[in-house]
Structure 1
Amino acid sequence: MASKEPKRWSRNVTEHSHALRLEQGVFILKDPKKIAASLKRSAEASTRRKADPFRSAMSMLVFYINRAGKNLSEQDRARLEAAKDELRKAFGRPVAK
């Protein structure tokens, strides 16, 4: 018999990532710089990631925006998009225009 609870695989990935150990509530922080700094710390500290720290951190952020955050408000989406630019800055990468 099927479970009555909907499957939330994207939530599970966000909360229990094997590649990065994310701070709890990282994606609901109000400051894009703090989100980027937290993702950077997690990616650099990880010994289980397969890609370089920048790619791992950016992948998790993009995953959250695309999947786990599909019901984001415009304001929240803009804040997370700004976090992508802050993450690029934190890793010394060119910022998209």
Structure 2
Amino acid sequence: MSQTPLISVSDLPDDAVVVDVREDNEWHAGHAPNAIHVPMGTVPESLDKLPDTDETIPVICRSGGRSDRVVQWLVQQGFDVVNVDGGMRAWAAAGKQMRSEDGSEPSVI
């Protein structure tokens, strides 16, 4: 089994552009400030939403499982991506900035 590339939340700046592959309700409850929302099930047809950058793109979900599968698939497609270890739970636990879509206190659900 190939090892999925990982990055720790502490190695990401608070303003990092991350691709969030969680579902809509999870996204609305709370996400990283500069995240791009591409639900896991829509990734294959949403490749144009990925950041156009020469840098490695961090992919995040709630705890790291879904983003792990997305990263494995994107690597096979030739993308330079990395899984955010611990996902949004780790992001929130590290006290990093979050925002919700409705202005309420952001949370990870």
Normalised by the length of structure 2, the TM-score is 0.27
Give the structure, 1 or 2, with the largest relative contact order (CA under 8 Å, sep 6 or more): 2
Greater share of helix:
1
> TM (normalized to structure 1)?
0.29
